[in-house]
Amino acid sequence: MPIVRVEMFEGRDRETKQKLVKSLTAEMARVTGCSEASVHVVITDVSKEDWGIGGELAATKFPD
Amino acid sequence: MPIVRVEMFEGRDRETKQKLVKSLTAEMARVTGCSEASVHVVITDVSKEDWGIGGELAATKFPD
Amino acid sequence: MPIVRVEMFEGRDRETKQKLVKSLTAEMARVTGCSEASVHVVITDVSKEDWGIGGELAATKFPD
Amino acid sequence: MPIVRVEMFEGRDRETKQKLVKSLTAEMARVTGCSEASVHVVITDVSKEDWGIGGELAATKFPD
Amino acid sequence: MPIVRVEMFEGRDRETKQKLVKSLTAEMARVTGCSEASVHVVITDVSKEDWGIGGELAATKFPD
Amino acid sequence: MPIVRVEMFEGRDRETKQKLVKSLTAEMARVTGCSEASVHVVITDVSKEDWGIGGELAATKFPD
C-alpha cells in the first residue's frame, strides 16, 4: 500500500519514467517487505519556473 | 477548514469535477461536523504516464 | 486508483474516520465511475498549532 | 532543508513567482534560523476548475 | 485561497510557528495580491529520522 | 533537486528507513542522472487507522 511521490524537473520521457517506477517499486518491496503489486508511484513534473532553491528560481539558477 | 485532495487519472470534465467537489464537501461536513463553507477540495489530474502501479506505468497497464 | 487525502484538525475518533473513509470512497466511485476497491484515502490529523488561517494559528483563533 | 509548497490559482507570471520564492525563502530563514540556501519552494498552479470551496468550483464562484 | 505547506525539522515551538504563519501569510498577500484572510498555512514537523538528504538520514548527518 | 516522498504504514525502524533512503536516492540518481547529493527523501508514517482502502480502514482490513 505504500505511495511514493516523485517531484522532479520536467523533461524526462516515458521510458525513463517507466524505469523509475519499476526501480523505485522494486526497492520499496525489497527494503520494506511489502509486495510490489501494492506500491503506487506518482510522478509530478515541476517546471523550473515553479521551483525555487535558495531564494532563486531554478529557471535562472540552472537554465537548460 | 479541512482540505481534501484528489489525485486521479486525467480526463474528467468540469461537470464531473463540480459534482465531485459538491459531494465530497457534503460528506466531509456530514461526517465530521465541519461547515461546508470551510471545506477546500483540490483536484490533481495525473497522466497515466506519471502513475505507476505494481512497477508498471498505468499508461501500459490500463491503456485508454 | 484514485488517492484522496484529508487534512483536518486532530481529534476525530476511529469510528468517525471509518465513516469518512467509507463515505468518501463511495462518492468517488459513484461520481467518477472508478471501482471502490481502487480508492485509497489517507487522513492526516493536523494540530491547531500547525494550521494558520489568515495569519493566525487555529490554536489561537479556534481554541478547543 | 525546509520545503515550502504553494498551491494557488494559476496565472501568476515568472516575475511574481521569482518575488514569491525570494520572499518566502527569506522569511523561512529569518523566522526559523535555517540558511536561505537550504530552502526549497515548489509552486503548484491550480486551475479554478480544480479547486472547490464550500462545495462549488472556484471557476464558478470566482470567474475571471 | 492559497495553501502554503511547510515541512521542516521538528522542534520549533508555538511562538515560532505563530511568527512563521504570520510572516508567510503577509508575504503571500503582498506578492500575489490575495487577501491575508484567504491564506492557509499548514506546518508539518518532520523527524530527522524521516528525512534523507543525499542518501543519508538527517538524524545521522545533522545530529542535534 | 528531486524530492521523493514515501507514505507507508508506521512501524519501520530507523535502520530500515536508512536503507530505504539510501536505496531510493541511488535509484533516483541512476535512472534520472541527477546527483545523489541533490535528492531529498521524506518519509511519512501513516497509522492503519488513517488509511482507507476500498472503503475500509487498514486497521480493520490488515490488523497487526
Q: Which amino acid is at C34?
A: C
What is the three-class DSSP state of B62? coil
pLDDT at position C5, please? 98
What pLDDT digit, counting tens, does each position of E29-39 carry?
Answer: 999 999 999 99
pLDDT at position E1, please? 80
Contacts of B41 (CB under 8 A, 6+ apart): B3, B4, B5, B6, B20, B21, B24, B25, D51, D52, D53
Contacting residues of D for E4, CB less than 8 Å apart:
4-7, 24
> For chain F, which residues lie within 8 Å of any Cβ of chain E, measuring from their own Cβ?
14, 17-18, 20-22, 24-26, 36-45
Is pLDDT above 90 for B1? Answer: no
Is pLDDT above 90 for A39? Answer: yes
Complex ipTM: 0.97
Contact D6, E28 (CB under 8 A): yes
What pLDDT digit, counting tens, does each position of F32-50 carry?
Answer: 999 999 999 999 999 999 9
Q: Which amino acid is at A2?
A: P
List the A56-57 sheet strands across, edge first. Answer: A56-57, A51-53, D40-46, D3-9, E3-9, E40-46, C51-53, C56-57
Residue carrying the nine cell digits 536505496: F23
pLDDT at position F64, please? 83
Query: Cβ of D3 and F1 within 8 Å?
Result: no
**What's the domain count of chain B?**
1
Q: What is the DSSP letter of B28?
A: H
Is pLDDT above 90 for F1? Answer: no
Q: Residue D49: which of B14, B25, B38 has the nearest Cβ? A: B14
Query: Cβ of C46 and E42 within 8 Å?
Result: yes
Contacting residues of D for B11, CB less than 8 Å apart:
none
* Rounded average pLDDT over E17-33: 98
Query: Cβ of D27 and E5 within 8 Å?
Result: no
What residues in chain C have per-residue pLDDT under 50?
Answer: none
pLDDT at position C64, please? 83
Contacting residues of E for D8, CB less than 8 Å apart:
1-3, 28, 32, 34
Q: Which range of residues forms the domain containing residue A25?
A: 3-61
- F26 pLDDT band, cuts 50/70/90, is very high
Interface E:D, ≥3 CB–CB pairs < 8 Å:
yes
* Rounded average pLDDT over A39-48: 98
User: What is the spatial distance between Cα B54 and Cα B46, in angstroms, rounded to a whole number?
Assistant: 17
Residue with the larger pLDDT of the pair F64 and F43: F43
Is pLDDT above 90 for A64? Answer: no
Pairing label, strands F3-9, F40-46: parallel
Neighbours of A8 (CB within 10 A): 22
User: What is the spatial distance between Cα F38 and Cα A58, in angstroms, rounded to a whole number?
Assistant: 13
- A1 pLDDT band, cuts 50/70/90, is confident
Query: Cβ of A22 and B52 within 8 Å?
Result: yes
pLDDT at position D64, please? 83
* Rounded average pLDDT over F21-40: 98
* Rounded average pLDDT over B29-58: 98
> For chain E, which residues lie within 8 Å of any Cβ of chain D, measuring from their own Cβ?
1-9, 12, 16, 19-20, 23-24, 27-28, 30-32, 34, 51, 53, 58
Neighbours of C62 (CB within 10 A): 13
pLDDT along chain D (64 residues), means of 10: 96 98 98 97 98 98 90
List the D56-57 sheet strands across, edge first. Answer: D56-57, D51-53, B40-46, B3-9, C3-9, C40-46, F51-53, F56-57
pLDDT at position F57, please? 98
A63 an active-site residue?
no
CATH code where residue D54 lies = 3.30.429.10
What pLDDT digit, counting tens, does each position of B19-43 carry?
Answer: 999 999 999 999 999 999 999 999 9
Query: Cβ of A1 and C42 within 8 Å?
Result: no
Bridge partners (DSSP) of residue C25 are none
